[in-house]
Structure 1
């Protein structure tokens, strides 16, 4: 089979990108199941860290992948990435710890992350080499790279149904397929032949391992959090979570989502034990209708039916749980979700209440979080839009005048819950929020009842009788706030003034900062980050973010120093300037430094800006789509394809005009980020009340507009740098990737402490930096950066495609098809 080098290169890059995104998503699900949700977020940055490592390595050692051995090295790197993927998933599957906070877990975590980064580093090295040697084709290469990445996201949605380990095995196969494409591209006269045996080994090996696992499963995570593998009856993966169900025992089974959310499934003949949230029916009993948000295994739906409710609406956002309840466990639950009294909706709770015209007498939001997750800060990075001021307000609007909202949370969250409900009541017009609240709890869980109209004496007495009858401890009442601080928190319009020295953040979460489980006050953040023991024990999510920020920042600093180190080494090897036989400018001088610094700063700025804006825009687009278990691949595809198209539109931009176009695009992104800081959160909240189709159109418009603009900057930057300093391209790519990884960590910290609006303003600042640091268009074809000279790169006019001196045909003997393809 004969394949042109152009086809081999482009197809190989697309397969490489597909494998990278598929592996990124599969590993994030595995890490999330083993170590917690914060580690799933950190894992998404590994591809950026790997891309940065690959680019920095190619800059430091350009001989690793260049003509005439370019295709041979690309094939070898892709095959080795396949092998590294197999090693990483086998390591994870058979040695996963039960807890990331367990003694001795940190060295193991470091090993896991190092092993998980190796495939991305090898793929990043291959991609950097392709960009370095085919810079003239960057717009098309960039499009195929991002389209391949979007296909990887779609493949993940399908492959994860078979399990995250198998999805990772599929990624190993795609890496090996990329090696095949590069191998076929190497079969050209003058090009070093790729190692066919190595390529074939990993193609066949990865396929055989996947087939073997399908026939006789051997890849299964052995260290799942909060679940013993030998007791698991069902295991279901999707792109959002791992759902496990224990074998039914004593009339019930337990549903777990990533080990942090737990919900029981009770036998139809069993009587579920009473829980604090059942206070919802103490005042209304059989009067309905009732709404249960987060129905899960159905315990709270059963409680509503037991109270005599004849009209119960159950909302569940996890489609996998619904499929289990209506499938394998339908008989165990007595076909609970198919009863005529129960109406089931698969949707986000906020979206449902914003769209439905119905009013409810009782709304129940049960707590599914485990005590460990709440105590260790494992959910600090998880958005909780049900528990924001606007979210509570949306539920209050769906209540009848005498209706009640009951929210259940771990008992340590009660003060924060009181603050957010009091703020929502004030917005709804309540003069004295204190008169609308009552709370009781048991077994480290507290239920807060919120009524639209004030509670009367008879209502309070009825609630107290309910608590005594079911042995629930009263935690708050209008006439007995239990503690002075709770009385002040509910009464004060500013919670910080009511408790200025509180160890936890008591300001009410909002849609702009919807991180209910993150409760570290900004004033205490430096001290918490400096307290290693507290981080490990109580703030595991924050620890994961801080670690990512530290590693990415350190790698960024080291990569930024590479040109200076390379210049010093070159200066030591060369005779002094002016010595006989030494051409002027062969040794590092000041002439190229400003151009090099601007190029590096530009790529760092667009890398950080993209990560920062993506965190906000992508998250809100997911909210608008509201397609449970399917929104991630759809949003990812829209974003990546639009970014690729944005890059393709730059194909006709000449190098002398690229600087101006880049500056205008960066300025437009800065303006867009500033506008989004004002309007994105209100727009997302307003869209929750729209139908599915107009919301989807809005999400597509948002993602596509951002993708088209942001996607144009990298190809334009490559065009400018390649025209003057082609050897600098791998380092530019590396700094952009490292800045993106650091931007993900910094952006998450910014959103958690200051909100998404502040995050978008920081993103706008990054794009302003990009606008003022755009590399200048080369003054002439002979312009060359000092770093390129030190690395022994070809003249800029050769790299740009001009014929080298003495060769009128333009052919380069060591670069096939004009650097390397035509």
Structure 2
């Protein structure tokens, strides 16, 4: 089979990007199952860290991949990435679950992270080499890279559901190997006698080996996770992967089993003949039984659905965001649960709960929001990075708006969250026009879980007495009542308009979360953040999410600093070790014409770092809000990312006809427009999304595309334009610039999440605007027409030291365009 070099390059890049995203999403789900949801953020940035490290490495050692061995080396890197993927998934799977709080566990976690980074570093070498030596094709390469990434996201969604995360990782290894095959075929597609061919044996070995390993696992499963987060392996009866994570079900005991997602969202499944025991979530049924429809937001294993039926409701609407949970309940555990989800009076809806509440025209007599957290996860701060759109000031307001005039809302959380839940409910009632929120609230707890009842109308004394009887009957502890607030703090929280004024010295943040800052489980006040960070032992044990975020920030910042300093220090060391040292330089200067001045490096490097940080800030904030517009359950995030990636790729392609002379103006304009878009989004994105909840699904999807498309087109144009400019000045700088762009994106990801948790998404969007303003100010100037800069290829230390001896093998002659290798089309 004969494939042209150009076709081999383009198809290989697309396959490489597909494999990268497929592996990244798969590892994120495995990290969440084994280590906890916060560590999924580490996996999400693996590709950025790997690409950043490989870009700097290629700058320091350009002989790793350049003509005439370019495609051959890219094939070898892709094949090795396939092997590294196999090694990484085995290491990760065999490590087993860990809390990550002990020194030994931290060392093991570092090993797992390093092993997981290896495939991305190898694939990043191939991509950086393509950008370095095919700069004129950067717009098309960028389109194929992002389109391949979008395809990898779609493949991940299908593979996780159909085959599970370990097998999806094996599939990623196969796609990496396929990219190696495509590069290998391209290396045999011509290019002259000096064209190096790819090591066919190496590529074939990993291609066949990965296929054999996947086929073997399909026949006799050998690649299994050795344990699950907070769930002993011997207790698990069922494992099922969905797009949202790993679903496990324990072996039944005494007519009850437990369904979990990633080991934390525990929900009981009751056998058909088992009657549900009284729980605090049933407080509303003590006031009214069987009157009007009931709504359960988070159906889970169906325990709250069964309780609503027991209370006499003839219509129960059960909303579940994870379709995998519904499949489990209607499949393996349908008979066990008495076909609960198929009963005629039960209406199961697979949708985002907040979106359903906003668009349904129904009014409910009882609304129940069960707790999705385990006490252990809440105590350890494992869900601090997770958004909860129902537990915000606006979310509770939406729930109150769907209540009948005498209706009740019951929200359950671990007992440690009760004070913040009380503050949130009181603020939402006050916003709804209630003068005395305390008269509408009643709370109790059992087994370390608390429930807060919120009634639209004031609670009469007879209703308070009925609730107390329910508490005594179920042996619940009363936490709050209109006439007994239990603690002075709770009395102040429901009476004060500002939670900070009610509890200025509280150890936890008791202010109501908002859609701007929807992190209910994160309760570290900004004033206590330095103290929390200073106690490393407590940080690892009690603030797992924050610890994982800071670990990412530390790793990314350290690598970014190293990526900036290492080439500078290496260049200085080479100059000192050069024979004759400074004296030789002075002698050469006296006897020869002065060499051309070195091209500027500060502007190109700063420009790429700024656009990398700006895109990370902007993507995090915009996508998190746009997902609420898309009515594709469990695929909202993927759909938003696909729209953004494809539009960014198209934006890069549109720069193909922009000449290097006009590229600086186009890049400045695009960066300034993105800064303006970020400022507009900071002011209006949250209100726009809140308004859109009430319109139809198609209209919301059109709005989502309208928001993402211009951002993608503008952001996607900046990198190819930057490549054009740097290629006209000093092509050897391209890998270094690309590496800094990726590492700045990793650092900005961690900073962006931390910023959103403390200050809100609007401030994060403003940070994106500042980054793009800095990028506009640092756009590299194009090379002057006819200047030697086009032929000047100032490289890293090893090339600078060999300049006097002539160009290295495969380097272009003076006056040529070094960014166009033999794989690029002739003019």
Secondary structure (helix, strand or coil) at the match of 2:695 reads coil
CA–CA distance in structure 2, aligned partners of residues 599 and 554 of structure 1 = 21
CA–CA distance in structure 1, aligned partners of residues 73 and 382 of structure 2 = 42
CA–CA distance in structure 2, aligned partners of residues 424 and 450 of structure 1 = 10
CA offset at residue 790 of structure 1?
4.9
CA–CA distance in structure 2, aligned partners of residues 803 and 329 of structure 1 = 67
Tell me which moved more, 699-708 or 212-221.
699-708
Counterpart mapping for 1:437-516 below 5 A:
437-516=441-520
Q: Show the counterpart of 1:84.
A: 84
Q: Show the counterpart of 1:210.
A: 214
Counterpart mapping for 1:520-539 below 5 A:
520-539=524-543
CA offset at residue 789 of structure 1?
7.2
Q: Is the 8 A contact 1:82 1:173 kept in 2?
A: yes
Secondary structure (helix, strand or coil) at the match of 2:799 reads coil
Q: Show the counterpart of 1:743.
A: 748
Counterpart mapping for 1:73-222 below 5 A:
73-101=73-101, 104-161=104-161, 162-187=163-188, 188=190, 189-222=193-226
Deviations 1:640-691 (A, max 9, x none): 1110000000001010110010000000000000000011111112222222
Counterpart mapping for 1:8-47 below 5 A:
8-47=8-47
CA offset at residue 816 of structure 1?
5.3
CA offset at residue 247 of structure 1?
2.6
Secondary structure (helix, strand or coil) at the match of 1:261 reads coil
CA–CA distance in structure 2, aligned partners of residues 258 and 353 of structure 1 = 26
CA offset at residue 574 of structure 1?
5.9
1:580 to 583, 588, 595: 588
Q: Show the counterpart of 1:267.
A: 271
CA–CA distance in structure 2, aligned partners of residues 630 and 327 of structure 1 = 21
Counterpart mapping for 1:275-290 below 5 A:
275-290=279-294
Counterpart mapping for 1:654-665 below 5 A:
654-665=659-670
Counterpart mapping for 1:675-690 below 5 A:
675-690=680-695
1:424 to 416, 428, 433: 428
Q: Is the 8 A contact 1:605 1:770 kept in 2?
A: yes
Q: Is the 8 A contact 1:239 1:632 kept in 2?
A: no
Query: Compared with structure 1, are the counterparts of its residues 228 and 563 closer, same or farther at alpha carbon in structure 2 (3 Å cutoff)?
Result: closer
CA–CA distance in structure 1, aligned partners of residues 257 and 567 of structure 2 = 60
Q: Show the counterpart of 2:633.
A: 628
Query: Compared with structure 1, are the counterparts of its residues 97 and 580 closer, same or farther at alpha carbon in structure 2 (3 Å cutoff)?
Result: same
Counterpart mapping for 1:618-767 below 5 A:
618-767=623-772
Tell me which moved more, 286-295 or 657-666.
286-295
Secondary structure (helix, strand or coil) at the match of 1:612 reads helix
CA–CA distance in structure 1, aligned partners of residues 330 and 823 of structure 2 = 60
CA–CA distance in structure 1, aligned partners of residues 736 and 825 of structure 2 = 20
Tell me which moved more, 3-12 or 187-196.
187-196
Deviations 1:407-427 (A, max 9, x none): 011000011001111110011
CA–CA distance in structure 1, aligned partners of residues 111 and 570 of structure 2 = 30
CA offset at residue 15 of structure 1?
0.8
CA–CA distance in structure 2, aligned partners of residues 492 and 87 of structure 1 = 57
Counterpart mapping for 1:569-608 below 5 A:
569-572=573-576, 573=578, 575=580, 576=582, 577-580=585-588, 592=598, 595-608=600-613
Deviations 1:669-725 (A, max 9, x none): 000000000111111122222222111111122222211110000000000000011
Q: Is the 8 A contact 1:169 1:210 kept in 2?
A: yes
Q: Is the 8 A contact 2:59 2:795 kept in 1?
A: no
Aligned residues: CA RMSD: 2.1
Deviations 1:567-608 (A, max 9, x none): 313422165334137755659xxx547x31011000000000
CA offset at residue 330 of structure 1?
1.2
Query: Compared with structure 1, are the counterparts of its residues 273 and 704 closer, same or farther at alpha carbon in structure 2 (3 Å cutoff)?
Result: same
Query: Compared with structure 1, are the counterparts of its residues 586 and 91 closer, same or farther at alpha carbon in structure 2 (3 Å cutoff)?
Result: farther
CA–CA distance in structure 2, aligned partners of residues 757 and 691 of structure 1 = 26
CA offset at residue 153 of structure 1?
0.6
Query: Compared with structure 1, are the counterparts of its residues 738 and 74 closer, same or farther at alpha carbon in structure 2 (3 Å cutoff)?
Result: same
Tell whether 2:785 aligns with 1:777.
Answer: no
- TM-score with structure 1 length normalisation? 0.96
Tell me which moved more, 770-779 or 625-634.
625-634
Deviations 1:386-406 (A, max 9, x none): 000000000001111111100
1:366 to 363, 370, 389: 370
Tell me which moved more, 698-707 or 675-684.
698-707
Query: Compared with structure 1, are the counterparts of its residues 403 and 174 closer, same or farther at alpha carbon in structure 2 (3 Å cutoff)?
Result: same
CA–CA distance in structure 1, aligned partners of residues 717 and 76 of structure 2 = 30
Tell whether 2:550 aligns with 1:546.
Answer: yes
Tell me which moved more, 655-664 or 230-239.
230-239
Query: Compared with structure 1, are the counterparts of its residues 462 and 583 closer, same or farther at alpha carbon in structure 2 (3 Å cutoff)?
Result: farther
CA offset at residue 529 of structure 1?
1.4
Q: Is the 8 A contact 2:133 2:821 kept in 1?
A: no
Deviations 1:737-796 (A, max 9, x none): 00000000000000000000010001100000001000011124412789537553899x
Q: Show the counterpart of 2:521.
A: 517
Q: Is the 8 A contact 2:91 2:112 kept in 1?
A: yes
Deviations 1:350-401 (A, max 9, x none): 1111111111111111113111110000000000010000000000011111
Query: Compared with structure 1, are the counterparts of its residues 585 and 517 closer, same or farther at alpha carbon in structure 2 (3 Å cutoff)?
Result: farther
Q: Is the 8 A contact 2:363 2:403 kept in 1?
A: yes
Q: Is the 8 A contact 1:566 1:787 kept in 2?
A: no
Secondary structure (helix, strand or coil) at the match of 2:337 reads coil
Q: Is the 8 A contact 2:611 2:772 kept in 1?
A: yes
Tell me which moved more, 218-227 or 567-576.
567-576
1:338 to 331, 337, 342: 342
Counterpart mapping for 1:379-418 below 5 A:
379-418=383-422
CA–CA distance in structure 1, aligned partners of residues 415 and 69 of structure 2 = 63
Tell me which moved more, 26-35 or 65-74.
65-74
Q: Is the 8 A contact 2:382 2:543 kept in 1?
A: yes
Q: Show the counterpart of 1:353.
A: 357
Query: Compared with structure 1, are the counterparts of its residues 643 and 574 closer, same or farther at alpha carbon in structure 2 (3 Å cutoff)?
Result: farther
Tell whether 2:381 aligns with 1:377.
Answer: yes
CA offset at residue 804 of structure 1?
4.0
CA offset at residue 629 of structure 1?
2.0
CA–CA distance in structure 1, aligned partners of residues 568 and 543 of structure 2 = 39
Paired residues in the alignment total: 811
Query: Compared with structure 1, are the counterparts of its residues 426 and 485 closer, same or farther at alpha carbon in structure 2 (3 Å cutoff)?
Result: same
Tell me which moved more, 311-320 or 631-640.
631-640
Secondary structure (helix, strand or coil) at the match of 1:308 reads coil
Q: Is the 8 A contact 1:98 1:223 kept in 2?
A: no
Tell me which moved more, 560-569 or 518-527.
560-569
* Structure 1: segments with no counterpart, 5+ residues: none
Q: Is the 8 A contact 2:5 2:823 kept in 1?
A: no
